[in-house]
């Protein structure tokens, strides 16, 4: 009744009732055993169980009444933490440089993915910077879900992100990029708040002997990203290790 008095939908009120009933059943049984052991009679225990059950129903009702706001707050905090775990440009470049040095020493493969959100400026202009920030936060969550613990995602500036993939050749890096592209495309189509679905363009480059330094490797991935945008966006393009970036 308290749940309904707070104008909670019937489904949520049902959750309250189920929680209340479950707590009462377990509490009555436990308290009954306890009271029988202490007082030799179950009545005091049932009284205690009733008091505990009533209190629990009140607490559960309060939680359910604020459930939506609580969920929104927790999601916002969680996504904010994800953005904090995304490497900044300097840290990301340091990680890429370490992988390049490892390649030069041991000839172990590594790849970079550069990506950005198609039409991100229009999102900011038409729907405000809050909407743009929400897209960036959602993309950060997608990257954390899609990558291995050894991979390093980073925000390079604006809506441009990069990923360092150790022990990954060009073919497998392209598969990772395509999986991320498809994931974001599905999310964009499912977001009714957007005026149009949002997508990603991604460029992939594997480290190779013609890269004089990490900047050359990054430029190679940037060339592939430019090709993805020039060919219509919402796609993955690659650049072979033998190619030389301008």
Both structure tokens of 81: 């933490």
In 3D space, the residue among 41, 44, 40, 46 whose CA is nearest the CA of residue 28 turns out to be 46
The DSSP output letter for 87 is B
Number of separate helices (H) and strands (E) present in the chain: 9, 5
Determine contact, residues 173/188, Cβ cutoff 8 Å.
no
Beta strands in 68-191 (DSSP E): 110-117, 152-157, 160-166
**Cα distance between residue 66 and residue 70, in whole Å:** 6
Determine contact, residues 100/207, Cβ cutoff 8 Å.
yes
Which of 116, 118, 159, 222 is the catalytic position? 159
116 included as an active-site residue = no
Q: Percentage helix, strand, coil, to 5, in the chain?
A: 65, 15, 25
CA dihedral sign of residues 94, 217, 164, 102: negative
Q: Known catalytic residues? A: 159
């Amino acid at each position: 009744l308290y749940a309904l008095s707070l104008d909670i939908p019937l489904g949520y009120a049902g959750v309250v009732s189920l929680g209340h009933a479950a707590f009462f059943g377990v509490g009555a049984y436990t308290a009954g055993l306890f009271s029988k052991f202490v007082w030799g009679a179950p009545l005091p225990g049932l009284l205690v169980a009733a008091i505990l059950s009533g209190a629990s129903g009140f607490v559960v009702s309060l939680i359910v009444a604020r459930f939506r706001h609580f969920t929104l707050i927790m999601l916002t905090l969680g996504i904010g933490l994800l953005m904090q775990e995304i490497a900044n440009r300097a840290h990301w470049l340091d990680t890429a440089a370490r992988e390049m040095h490892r390649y030069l020493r041991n000839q172990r493969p590594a790849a970079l993915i550069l990506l950005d959100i198609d039409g991100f400026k229009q999102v900011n202009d038409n729907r405000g910077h809050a909407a743009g920030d929400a897209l960036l936060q959602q993309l950060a969550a997608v990257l954390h879900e899609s990558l291995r613990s050894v991979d390093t995602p980073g925000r390079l500036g604006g809506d441009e992100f990069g990923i360092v993939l150790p022990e990954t050749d060009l073919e497998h890096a392209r598969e990772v990029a395509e999986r991320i592209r498809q994931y974001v495309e599905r999310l964009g189509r499912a977001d009714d708040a957007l005026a149009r679905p949002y997508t990603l363009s991604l460029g992939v480059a594997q480290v190779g002997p013609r890269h004089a330094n990490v900047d050359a490797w990054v430029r190679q991935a940037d060339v592939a990203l430019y090709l993805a945008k020039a060919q219509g966006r919402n796609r993955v393009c690659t650049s072979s290790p033998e190619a030389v970036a301008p």
